[in-house]
Amino acid sequence: MKVSALAVAQVGLLNVLPATAEYVWPSKHDAMEDLLVLQGGYIREGFIDGITPCTRNPSAPGRQTAAEWIRTAFHDMATFDNATGVGGLDASIQFETGRAENAGDAFNGTFGFTNNYYSIRTSAADLIALSTVLAVGNCGGPKIPLRVGRVDATEGGVLGVPEPQQDLDTHKKMFAKAGFSTEDMIAMVACGHTMGGVHGKTFPEITENNTESNVVHFDSTEATFDPKVATEYLDGTTQNPLVVAHNDTLNSDKRIFAADNNVTMKALASDPKTFQSMCADIFERMIDTVPSTVTLTEPLEPTPLKPYIISFTLTNATHITLTGRIRLLTSSDRSEDERVTLTYTPRTAPAGNSTLNTTIATDPASFKSGLSNGIFGELFKWHEFSLALPVSTSIKSFTATVTRVSTGATTQYDNAGHGYPLDDTVLYQDRQSCRIDNDATIVAAVRKSVNASVVAKVARKFPKQGTLVPGIEVEEWKGTVGEEVGDYKLVTMKGQQLPETYSTQFDIVAGDSSVEYLDTNVLGSKDCQAF
C-alpha cells in the first residue's frame, strides 16, 4: 500500500478495511456493493424488500421467501465437483427447475425477484449469494462475508442434489464430492433448516397433508435464524418433519444430525453465538463454492466514501455540467456534523496566470434526512453537488475533504492515492438522447481530438427457453459523427427495441475512453432535443 501524508489521516478508516482490499473507484463491483448496503432511506436499492417480512411471502400462502433464497443457494451449489472444479454456485439451477431433486417453488421464486437486479455487472450467481447473505442477516442471523465475481452457467449441470429418501452414506458421499466433511454436512443442513419447512404440496409423503398451503416447519421459530433447530432436536421436542416423519426412510435430518454422534449438533446448540459463528462459517464456504475458473473478490465492505455521477455532460460550446452525489459512511452521532468539499484537478491548466477556483461545494441532502442504511449497521449520508466547468480547463479528478463542523477536524479521501478520476473525452448527452417506441438514440459528445470510432455497447437482454433468467448479449451500435460544438463533436448511435421489461445498461466507448453502465431507462420515453 502506498503510504502518503493522506494515509495518516485515514488510519481510523483503514482499521476497518481488510488490508488486501483497498477499494479504488470506480469499480466493476460498485453495483453489487450498492445492492448489499443500500437497503433503506433516501437512496436505496431495497433488495431486502423481497424478504420483508421474514415470516412469509405476502402474496403466496405457505411460502417463505427468506427460506426459499437459502434453499436456492444450496441446491445450486450442491452438485459441485471438488475434484474437477466444475459446478458450484453458478446459477445453473435456473435450467434445472424441472428436476425431481429440485421440486418446489423456491427456485423460480428466487429468480423472479433477483431478475429485478440482474445485469451485466450483477450475475445471477452473485445475486443468489447476496440473497443468502441478506436472508440470513435480515432474519436474525450472522453477517456472512460476501465475495463477488461469480459467473453464470449457460446450461444445466450434472444431477446430484441430496433427497430425503437417500441413505446417510449417499449423503456423505454427495457432500464429500462437493468438498465438505461429515461435520460440514451436519452444520450446513442444520443451519439451512433453521428457516422454513416442508410443503405438503411438494412432499405430501413427508407432511402427510397435501393441502396447497400446508407447511410443516423445521423448528418452532421458522422465521428466525436461531439454534432452535438444534436445541429442539436434542431435547426431543422437535417437530422437524425430516426427523419425525412416520416413514423413517424420509428422515434424512435425523440420520444426518446423528452422523457424528450428535457432536456437531451439541456444538450448534451450545449457545446462540456459537450457532451464529458456525453457520456464518459454513454458509460462507457454501456460497464461495464456485467453479475453479472463477476468482472471487475479497469480501465487500461498505466503501467509506463513494461518488455517484448523475450527469457529466456538455451544456454548450464553453461549459460542461457536472452533477453528482457523495455517499459518506457515517454514524448517527456525527452524520449532521460532517460537511464534504471536493477539490478538483483541471484537465488543462488555466491559460496565462489566471487562477481557477478548484473547490466544489456540496450540500447535505435533506429529503429523508439524506440518510441511507444497510442491515448490518451501515449508515450513509449523501452530499450533493452540481456545477458548470469551463471546457477549456475542465476536470481530470477530484479529492474529498470531510470536515467535522464542531471541531474543524478534517479527513482527506483520495481514492487510495489515485484521486477520483473523471474522463471528459466522451460525455453522455442525455438531452439529445431518447427513445421513441422501440427506436433508441444515444448521443455522445466526444473530444474532436479523438480519432477512434465511437460505439455504444448495449447489454441487450433476451428471453431464454427453460429459464426465467434472460440472456445478455452485448450489441454494438456504431456512431455517426454529426455537428461540432466547440472542442467536441456530437456522435449519434441508434438501435432498436429496448422494451421496459428488459431495461438494461450500455457503455459508450471511444478508444481508451468510455462512459460505462448507463441505464437504458435514462433514454426515457421522450423526444430527442437538438443541441
CA distances from 372 to 42, 44, 156, 213, 425 (A): 5, 7, 39, 37, 33
CA angle 11, 15, 17 (to 5 degrees): 115
Q: How far apart are CA 120 and CA 152, in angstroms?
A: 11
Q: Which residues pair with 338 in a beta bridge?
A: 404
Residue 162 binding: pick among ligand HEM, ligand NAG, none (C-beta 5-8 Å cut-off by kind): ligand HEM
Shortest Cβ distance from residue 130 to ligand HEM (Å)? 15
Q: Which residues pair with 410 in a beta bridge?
A: 403
* Contact with ligand HEM (CB under 6 A) among 189, 300, 456, 458: 189
Q: How far apart are CA 161 and CA 76, in angstroms?
A: 8
Residue 216 binding: pick among ligand NAG, ligand HEM, none (C-beta 5-8 Å cut-off by kind): none
* Contact with ligand NAG (CB under 6 A) among 359, 366, 480, 525: 359
Q: How far apart are CA 51 and CA 65, in angstroms?
A: 6
Give the footprint of ligand HEM on residues 325-384 (CB under 6 A). Answer: none
* Contact with ligand HEM (CB under 6 A) among 197, 302, 370, 470: 197
Q: Fill in the per-residue mask, 102 to 141: x = in contact with ligand NAG (CB under 6 A), - = not in contact.
A: ------x---------------------------------
Give the footprint of ligand HEM on residues 273-332 (CB under 6 A). Answer: 286
Cβ-based neighbours of 28, under 8 Å, separated by 6 or more: 121
Residue tagged 428488459 (cell numbers):
502
Residue 510 binding: pick among ligand NAG, ligand HEM, none (C-beta 5-8 Å cut-off by kind): none
Residue 247 binding: pick among ligand NAG, ligand HEM, none (C-beta 5-8 Å cut-off by kind): ligand NAG
Give the footprint of ligand NAG on residues 310-329 (CB under 6 A). Answer: 315-316, 318-319
Q: How many residues bind ligand HEM (CB under 6 A)?
A: 27
Q: Fill in the per-residue mask, 158 to 177: x = in contact with ligand HEM (CB under 6 A), - = not in contact.
A: ----xxx------x------
Angle between helix 124-138 and helix 106-114 axes, rounded to 10 deg: 100
Q: Where are the beta strands (DSSP E) in 227-374?
A: 305-314, 319-330, 338-345, 359-361, 363-364, 371-373
Of the candidate spans 62-70, 404-412, 485-493, 500-508, the one that interacts with ligand HEM by CB under 6 A turns out to be 62-70
* Contact with ligand NAG (CB under 6 A) among 13, 234, 296, 309: 234
Shortest Cβ distance from residue 270 to ligand HEM (Å)? 20
> Could you say whether residue 50 binds ligand HEM (CB under 6 A)?
no
The DSSP string of 405-441 is TTT--EEEE-TTTT-EE--TTEEE-TTT-EEETTEEE
Residue 467 binding: pick among ligand NAG, ligand HEM, none (C-beta 5-8 Å cut-off by kind): ligand NAG
Short-list 313, 305, 331, CA closest to 383: 305
* Contact with ligand NAG (CB under 6 A) among 11, 59, 236, 530: 236
